[in-house]
Amino acid sequence: MSDRAYLIFVLLEERRGGPHALQLKHHKDSVIDLALADESSYIRYLAARHVRTPEKHAEAYEVERFERIRKDPVALVRYAQEEQVNHGLMSLFGTRDLAQFWRQPQAARLTSVSNERVSDIAELLRFATKELLPVGSVTVYEMADVLLQYIGPRFANEFAGKVTDASHSYDGSLMYGLAQDSQTLWELIPDVPKELSYLLLDRLPEPPYSAIPNEVVESLDAHQLECLLSRNDIKAGELRRKTYTESKNEGLRGAAVSSQSFELQDADVSSLVFDLEESEESAKEKFEDLRLLANYCQGATLVQMQAIFELIFHAPNSIQG
């Protein structure tokens, strides 16, 4: 998403009086009109989502704005107002025919997908992966657009808001539903093309009440795991420590310690003190570990970082590259 499109998205999508929300109607109307005149069809689409069908006694400018959308040359913009209706294509069909969703124009899929249930999205993407992608009835790029439309910034913001509401109200039913939705999306990762798995790994909120499912973590290759661990917002304390202490992959170890959620222990640092009797190979390994911590570790205390830099500075000249 371009900077311009992201700005429009934030200004118009912000809910609950957030810090970036446009509070006055005429301010919001001005942004909508400006965006509807943009050459980018995606920016026009973002604005069109916020224009409702005018009522019988609507102002002339409201009717003109609606007609401008209805006559837009790009289908995505024309379909945008369908998102105002509180249903997705699956509930609209009244059937579990997953293929019927994928038979719709891509613009129709994109404008309805935000209203689908999490379980429906997971089923739709698994079905497309298994049945449609191998025969060329759908492309990875079309699937990726549908997924991105669903787990975009609005999804993350609304999910975080629901978690906060559930915590404040001690709503057990809401907590259970959020936990199930989160698990459903994380468990989708091994079942979709790798291109889509990276989108999920890069954007899914961490499960609110549990760890990322073990079977998902075990299904990841080194590059996927590095993508996950590179996110500072993913705590995954046990996974980070296990990766740092057991992995031989330096990229993975660097990603594991790069979050503030990684708690460096004093024993981790003391184990890297050089011993005059140790071999040069052992000393070099310690030196490389010290450099890794100095370059990437975000969870070290000031005292620990000072000790790391002192060890590097006083390392034997023979092992310094």
User: Does 297 fall in a domain?
Assistant: no
- Counting the structural domains of the chain, the total is 2
Across 3-26, average pLDDT: 63
Instruction: Answer for the pair 66, 51: CB distance below 8 angstroms, yes or no.
Output: yes
| Same-domain check for residues 205 and 113 | yes
Q: Is residue 301 part of a domain?
A: no
Residue 189 and residue 200 in contact, taking contact as beta carbons nearer than 8 Å: yes
pTM score above 0.95:
no
In terms of domains, do 148 and 124 share one?
A: yes
The SS3 call for residue 12 is: helix
For residues 109 and 159, membership in a common domain is answered with: yes
126 and 213 share one domain:
yes
Residue 315 in any domain: the answer is no
Same domain, 89 and 50: no
CB atoms within 10 A of CB 245: 10
> Angle 67-72-76 (CA atoms, 0-180°, nearest 5)?
120
Question: CB under 8 Å to 179, separation ≥6 — which residues?
Answer: 207, 208, 209, 210
Domain match, 56 and 166 both = no
Angle of CA points 47, 124, 203, to nearest 5°? 60
* Residues with Cβ within 8 Å of residue 8, at least 6 apart in sequence: 31, 35, 43, 46, 47
The DSSP line for 88-148 is: -HHHHHTS--HHHHHHS-HHHHHHHGGGS-HHHHHHHHHHIIIIIGGGTSS-HHHHHHHHH
Per-residue model confidence as pLDDT tens digits over 263-280: 999 999 999 999 888 888
Residue 212 · residue 236 · CB < 8 Å: yes
Residues 64 and 145 in one domain: no
pLDDT in the model for residue 221: 96
Q: Largest alpha-carbon pair distance within the chain?
A: 90
Supply the pLDDT for residue 205: 87
- In 3D space, the residue among 274, 276, 270 whose CA is nearest the CA of residue 303 turns out to be 270
pLDDT, tens only, 152-161: 777 777 777 7
Backbone dihedral angles phi then psi of residue 182, each to the nearest 5 degrees: -65, -45
* pLDDT digit string, tens, across residues 286-302: 999 999 999 999 989 99
Contact 186, 213 (CB under 8 A): yes
Asked whether residue 245 is assigned to any structural domain, the reply reads no
The answer to whether the beta carbons of residues 125 and 188 sit under 8 Å apart is: yes
Tell me what the pLDDT averaged over the chain comes to.
Answer: 84
Same domain flag for 103 and 66? no
Evaluate whether residue 18 is within a structural domain: yes
Same domain assignment for residues 163 and 192: yes
Is 202 a member of any domain?
A: yes
Indicate whether 93 and 79 sit together in one domain.
no
In the predicted model, what is the mean pLDDT of residues 176-187?
A: 87
Nearest-angstrom CA–CA distance, 163 and 169:
10
Is residue 144 a part of any domain in this protein? yes
Provide the domain limits for residue 90: 85-218
Q: Say if residue 93's pLDDT is above 50.
A: no
| Contact assessment for residue 77 and residue 41, using Cβ atoms and an 8 Å cutoff | yes
Where does a domain end: 184, 218, 252? 218
Determine the pLDDT at residue 83: 61
Enter the tokens of residue 197.
Answer: 């798995």
Say what the pLDDT of residue 24 is. Answer: 67
Quote the pLDDT of residue 86. Answer: 43
Distance CA 163, CA 171 (A): 10
Which amino acid is it at 133? L
Radius of gyration of the chain (CA): 25
Contact 293, 257 (CB under 8 A): yes
Same domain as 104, residue 27: no
Mark which of 84, 101, 120 sits at the end of a domain: 84
Q: Which of 291, 295, 292, 297 minimizes the C-alpha distance to 313? A: 291
Whether 77 and 144 map to the same domain: the answer is: no
Q: Is 123 inside a domain boundary?
A: yes
**CA dist., res. 69 & res. 74, Å (int):** 9
Among residues 218, 241, 269, the one where a domain terminates is: 218
